[in-house]
Amino acid sequence: MQQSPQHQAASTMEKDQPEDEAVPPEHDNPVTSSFMSHMRQGSIAFSLKSQDIIDAMHPETGTSKVIWGICRGEPLTDTGKRIQLLKILSLTLLPILGLWAFTVYSLSYSIQGKSDIEQTQYAVKFSVEIGRFLDRIQRERDMSVLYLSILGPETKTFLMNEYLLTDRAVQELSDWPVNDDFSNIFQSKKAFKKYLQDHRNQLDPNNYDIYVEMDFYSFLIERFIEWMYGAIKESNMASIWKILVAYQKIVTVMEHIGIERSLGTVFYVEGGFPTQSIYERYNMRVTNFKANYRSAVLYSQIVDPIFQEGVTSTGTNLTAVIQSFRHEMQNTRSTHASITRGQYWFDNMTLYLDTLLIIQQDLANLINEELQNIIDIEENNLVISSCFLVIVFLMCPLVIYTVEALTSDIQKYAIALVDKTKELSKEGRKTDSLLYQMVPRSVAEKLKMKKDVDAEYFKSVTILLSEIMGFNKICYKMCTDYPANDILILLNKIFTAIDGHLENHDVYKVETINDCYMVASGLPIRRGNRHSADIANFALTVTKMIRSGEFRFPGDVKVRLRIGINTADCIHISNTTYASLKKHAVFIMKERGKVQIKSKGKMTTYWLLGRADCPDNIMQMCDTPEEEETPVGVQGELPGEIQPYAFCAGGELGVEQLIVKSQVPLGVRARSCRGSVDKPNYAVIPYFHTQGTPMSDFRRSGLDKGY
């Protein structure tokens, strides 16, 4: 026959475990510990707070508890909700604010980049305007030199058109940056145009030097080239700086080519350079032209292809023709004057200048295209950054609203969880309370943790059985006058009061059946030889409590408690219990004499009267039990007598168990006894198993009714 785990925990034996070894207490979490503390006090009015649940979920201590406490808080109150909301928002909004700051930075960077590009575009535009103006004033200079030479016409009619084009180029300049020059010539457009017009009016081929005319225009051109350099220098665009430098070099090349054309014209008209300085001046212009052109080719790959296409567009290699003229002028001190060769030189150099002008315009267009592409990219970045800024700006209230709603939902769930947890804890306490009444606490804890319950053997234990004297007769008399619930309330009050003294005496409550109360000591925690003293002290305490007169039946009937087999207010102990208590030398006991015990014969028993250190608690000799309380049909038995009954759990151990046997229908009369070391088959265990027990004995004992 298979036994239940509870029965195995109490009825099986483990011989290897020493008698005095105690089972160590279990370490529970804060919630469990708090609950167990309340249960030990006999109370179930225990309120589980949300902080208890949080502590149970995060059982940190010390520094870690302080740190985690800052992060956890109390989420179930309005203040705690606001704190949690602030924490979540701080964690959520910090990245958003960082993204917002980055977006603002990107937006400002895009705006600044667009501003720089626009400034560069303006500088390039101004430099292109200056380049166009320089081309016009160079042409005016060359036409003036041609007019002063014998190659030009006799009237200035053809110069008037060049003057108009130059004035228009001056007027089209979008800026006039020079206003602090030492002379008044460049203070404004009006002053410059007036100065230029005065020079034009004074132009006379009869009393004017051609080199002075070239120097006049060269001075003006150099000043405007400096302006162009300053405009390009203000540009900080790394992607187009090479093209800007190439453009600058081409403008300089055109200036050198223009002066070279004028000096070459003089060379062929006059048959040579009049002085050595003019000759050196010519060679310097040629050298500067070649150096600046090579630099322009290095800075921009489109310069040389355009130039080569321009100089070969007429079908003649213009570069080779001009190079032959240069070779003649550089290596011949004098030659015969030739107006035809001078005209031919002038026309070829004009084509040369036109090709360079095309390169200048193409470079300007390329710069504008690059700048426009960069501006488009920056505008796109500006739009994207603005959109991100708007999105981030709109995300802040959305995130705040979402987090607030989420926090509210979490708080609702937390409150519901706490309520359910309280209900679960309450039901768990009820379940544990019932479980602890059925089996010892240590066994129950092992069963709850799904651990194996090992069989244990207890050499010596002490049990106590008590009942209310005359309980059946009193109940029968009162059932017609008082409601039955009053009896139950009184029993609950008595047993609750007795429960309050259990832990103070290291005894274990086995069960209650009707008015019978059974207690054991020495198990499940071994107490050595102390278990009999614990039971004795507990019995004296309970007796004193009952004698106080606090507990009365309805109708002011005093409650009298019977412990052991006596009907009086006394404690009846066996010979073995007497021998064990005598070792402590503090208990007052007196021999009762020989008593006939069923199946045992005559045994010497004793009265437990009190403690020597508590003289006020010493009881009088107990009377003989009332005759009418002895159940009919039971002869030679003591109420609640412990009888041996052979029982084998599945044939494994072959141990004899003891059951309480009584003939009282509604109550159990019992005595306190202590198992004999010499006869382990009489060692009392605090459990009663229905399997294998005769039904007649089970019903007679009253165990089928319960309490």
Residue pair 457/523 in contact by the 8 Å Cβ criterion: no
pLDDT band at 651 (very low <50, low <70, confident <90, very high): very low
How many percent of the chain have pLDDT more than 70? 71
Higher pLDDT residue, 68 or 442? Answer: 442
Q: Looking only at Cα atoms, what is the longest distance across the chain?
A: 176
Backbone angles phi, psi at 435, to 5 degrees: -65, -40
Mean of pLDDT over the chain: 72
Gap between the Cα atoms of 26 and 61, Å rounded: 19
Query: Among 97-106, 182-191, 567-576, 669-678, which range has the highest average pLDDT?
Result: 97-106
pLDDT band at 72 (very low <50, low <70, confident <90, very high): low
pLDDT band at 380 (very low <50, low <70, confident <90, very high): confident
pLDDT over 90 (residue 20)? no
| Chain segment 385-424, per-residue pLDDT in tens | 888 788 878 877 887 888 778 878 877 887 888 888 888 8
Tell me how far CA of residue 131 lies from CA of 181, 291, 357, 438, 686, in angstroms: 21, 19, 9, 110, 118
Residue pair 491/423 in contact by the 8 Å Cβ criterion: no
- pLDDT for position 287: 92
First-to-last C-alpha distance (Å) of the chain: 28
Q: Which helix (H) or strand (E) holds 380?
A: helix 339-438
- pLDDT for position 52: 56
All domains of the chain in start order, with CATH = 103-390 (no CATH), 464-700 (3.30.70.1230)
- The owner of tokens 């010390």 is 62
Amino acid at 626: E
- pLDDT for position 288: 92
| Chain segment 524-533, per-residue pLDDT in tens | 777 777 888 8
pLDDT over 70 (residue 616)? no
pLDDT band at 378 (very low <50, low <70, confident <90, very high): confident
| Chain segment 136-159, per-residue pLDDT in tens | 888 888 788 877 776 666 667 778
pLDDT over 50 (residue 329)? yes
pLDDT over 90 (residue 446)? no
- pLDDT for position 178: 60
Decide: residue 83, CB within 10 A, 0-12 exposed, 13-18 middle, 19+ buried. middle
Give the mean pLDDT of 642-649.
32
pLDDT over 60 (residue 55)? no
- pLDDT for position 474: 79
Q: Which of 595, 476, 630, 608 is nearest to 537 (CA)?
A: 608
- What pTM, to 2 d.p., does this model score? 0.47
C-alpha angle 425-430-432 in degrees, rounded to nearest 5: 90
pLDDT over 90 (residue 291)? yes
Give the mean pLDDT of 478-485.
75
